[in-house]
Amino acid sequence: MRPSTGVGFAVVLAHAAGFVALAARCHGTELAIDTSAADPVPAGLADRVMLTDDAPPGPGLHRKRWSVMYRGGFERAVGAAEMMGPFQDPAVTTCTGRIVVAQKLLDQIAVEMKKQIEAEMAGEGIIGIGDFERVRDISLRWAKLEAHYEDIRAVGEAPDGYVRAVVRLGFSRVDVPVVIALVPNRATTELTFRMVTYAQLDFDNRALQWVSDKLGGDKLATRFARREVDGLLVTALAPPPPFELPGGQTLRFVYCGEPAQIFENVSGALPFAVEIRRSGKNILPPKRGKAKRAIIASDATLALDLDLDALNAIMYELWRTGFLDQQLAQAGLDRAFNTHPIVQELLTIRMSPVTLAQPPTLAPSSGKLRMSADARVTITDATAKTVGRIWGGLDFTFAASGVAPTAVDLGALELSCERTATILVPCYAELVDTIRGNGAEFHGALTQAFTAILDDLFVERRLGASGLPADLVIQRAVPQVTQSGQNASLHLDLHGALHSTP
C-alpha cells in the first residue's frame, strides 16, 4: 500500500472517532434492513430511506441499496445482492462465441501448401503430361458458390460457403490447374469438411481426360489436401482449447451446431459454446441472447468473439469450480491489509480472505463493461467477528478503434455487515470511502493486471496439431467492445503468423 493510502487511513481514523462521539450523543432509528421481511425498512425510517439499484439494467447481479442521509452530511447505506434472470440452461448448447479466420491466414496456409506439394510430387511423372516440375501458382480463398458458377457441377450444395483452393501444377508438357473445394459440415462434436477436387481441363483425348480426372481427384486429395488444408483449417477454426482448473476440473468450449459464416475473400467463422454445469447453490449464469459483433480487423490473422452470455458463462464456471476464490486467496488482499503498518499500529480490525458468494457478471454501462461481484469477508475486532458483504464493480474501457490501451478502474465498492443472517447494518463506512476515494491508485495496477492476463492467454501461444507442417503463433491481442442496447460482445483481434514445425 502506498504512503498516500496510509495518510488516508489516518484521516479515516479521525473521522471515525468524531462520528462515534457524535453518534453517542444522538438518538434515532437505526438503519437495519431485514431482508427476510416483506417490508425490510424500519418503520421510523420509512419516509427517509432511498432505495436504488447499484447495477446496470438487464439480467445479472443486482444490488438493492437502502440509504439514509443524516445531519452533518453523513450517509449510511446497506445493500443486498441478487442474481436476476433469465438464465442460461446447462442442458441446451447455445452458440455464444465464434472463431474468425481471416483471408490473411489462408494466404499463409497457401505458402505452406506450395512447399508440401512440391516436396511430395518431386520426381513424379505421368504418361501424356510429363514430369512434375513445380507449382506454378496457388491460391486459397474463402468462397461463396454464387461467385463461382464453374464449381456448381462438381461441388453440389454449399449454402454456407466453402474454402476454394486453385493449384496450377507445372508438368513438362502441360500445366494442370486443379480446384479443391472444402465444404464445412455442420459441427456438433467436431469440425469436418467434405472435399471435392477436379482438374480444369477439357481434353479431346480420352486417355488424357482419364489422367486429368485421376490427377484432379483421388491423387491430390490423398497426397496433400486433407493434411495441409483440412488439418490447418480444423485447428484454426476449432473452439479455444480446454482451460485446466485446479482439482481436476476443466473449462470447456464446444461446437454448437450452427453453420459456418463465410464471406467471399474476407473471412470464415465458426460459432462455439461455453460448456456449463449446474452448481449446488441453484445459481446459473444470466442470459441476454445474441449480441452484435465487430468485424475482424484488416491486419488481423484470427479473431475471437465472446457475447456477454459467453463471458458470464466463463465467470460462472470459474466461480463454480472455486477457481476465482483460489485466485483471490493468492492475491492476498487480506494479508496486504492486515500486515500494513498503519493497520498494525492504529486499527484493531483484521479481515479474512475474500470469497465470492455468487459468480461475477458483466453488463454494459455507459460505454464500458461493468463487472459486478458479491463477496464475503469475516471482519475480526478483538474477539468479535462480523460477516461483511462486499459489493464491488470493475469498469473496463476499450478504445473504439482497439488502438488505445484498455483501462480498468474501480467503479463501485460498498460494505454491509450481517447482524444476523438476514439483518444487515452499515459498517466501516469511512474506511470504504477512503479506499473508494483512492481509486486512481487502483487504475494502473488493475489495467496492468488485465493486460497481463490477455498476454498470458494469447501472446506466444502456438496453435497446431501433431503432423501438421506449421503452427500458428499468436503475437498480439487487441480487444474492443461492441455495445447494442443492453447487450454487448467482446472482440479480440489476434495477430500472428505461421511458423514451420521442426
pLDDT, tens digit (0-9, with 9 covering 90-100), for 316-348 = 998 999 888 888 888 788 888 888 887 888 888
Return the SS3 of 220.
helix
From 236, 263, 287, give the residue that closes a domain.
Answer: 236
> What pLDDT, on the 0 to 100 scale, is given for residue 12?
38
Of the candidates 103, 158, 157, which has an alpha carbon nearest to the alpha carbon of residue 268?
Answer: 103
> What pLDDT, on the 0 to 100 scale, is given for residue 227?
54
Same domain flag for 108 and 230: yes
Higher pLDDT, 343 or 156: 156
> What pLDDT, on the 0 to 100 scale, is given for residue 418?
96
Contact indicator for 394, 411 with CB cutoff of 8 Å: yes
Mean pLDDT of 290-310: 93
pTM of the model: 0.85
Same domain flag for 353 and 466: yes
> What pLDDT, on the 0 to 100 scale, is given for residue 208?
52
Residue matched to cell numbers 479506499? 435
Higher pLDDT, 278 or 127: 278
Same domain flag for 86 and 154: no
Same domain flag for 133 and 54: no
Same domain flag for 208 and 152: yes
Cα separation values, 383 from 86, 334, 380, Å = 43, 18, 7
Cα separation values, 34 from 40, 42, 79, 86, 331, Å = 5, 8, 11, 26, 33
191-200, 267-276, 404-413 — most confident range: 267-276
Residue 301 pLDDT > 80, yes or no? yes
> What pLDDT, on the 0 to 100 scale, is given for residue 455?
59
Taking only the tens place, the pLDDT of each residue in 52-85 is 988 888 999 999 999 998 887 888 999 999 999 9
Contact indicator for 450, 457 with CB cutoff of 8 Å: no
From 236, 258, 285, give the residue that closes a domain.
Answer: 236
Question: Quick one: pLDDT band at residue 468, thresholds 50, 70, 90?
Answer: low
Higher pLDDT, 194 or 500: 194
Q: Give dist(CA 252, CA 297) in Å, integer.
A: 27
Looking at the structure of the chain, the number of domains it has is 2
Residue matched to cell numbers 464491488? 392
* Residue 157 CB coordination number (10 Å): 9
Same domain flag for 476 and 337: yes
Taking only the tens place, the pLDDT of each residue in 159-199 is 999 999 898 888 898 888 888 888 998 877 888 888 888 77
Buried b (16+ CB within 10 A) or exposed e, 355-370: bbbbbbbbbbbeebbb
Domain residues for 189? 102-236
Question: Quick one: pLDDT band at residue 18, thresholds 50, 70, 90?
Answer: very low
